[in-house]
Amino acid sequence: MAQQLMLDIVLNLEDGALLDINALKLNANDFAKKVEKKTMTIKRFTICLSANVSRAYQSRLMIQNIQQINQTGKRCRK
């Protein structure tokens, strides 16, 4: 992750900007740990959200099926 961050910084550096490579190397690992921790939190949240959306979708389908069954039952009774 630290290497990816350093490469991203170097590739997106504005023309003529100065870069302290030693400072970049010293701080990249610490910053990468923070990014990885946030990324894991985001991944956990996304997985949880996906599971909840899936459950909500399944519930909606069940409600639609029940409504269709009720409608069919009403038509049959007439």
Average pLDDT over residues 31-39: 76
pLDDT, tens only, 56-73: 667 777 777 777 777 766
Residue 70 is encoded by which pair of tokens? 């009720």
In this prediction, residue 2 carries a pLDDT of: 80
Q: Which residue has the tokens 């030693």?
A: 22
pLDDT tier at 49, thresholds 50, 70, 90: low
DSSP string, 21-65: HHHHHHHHHHHHHHHHHHHHHHHHHHHHHHHHHHHHHHHHHHHHH
DSSP conformation class of 18: -
What mean pLDDT value characterizes the chain? 75
3-state secondary structure of 69: helix
Average pLDDT rounded to a whole number, residues 9-33: 84
Is 78 a residue whose pLDDT tops 60? no
CA 12: distance to chain centroid? 24
Judge whether 9 and 19 are in contact, CB under 8 Å. Answer: yes
Give me the pLDDT at residue 57, please.
Answer: 66
Domain ranges across the chain: 2-77
pLDDT at 75: 58
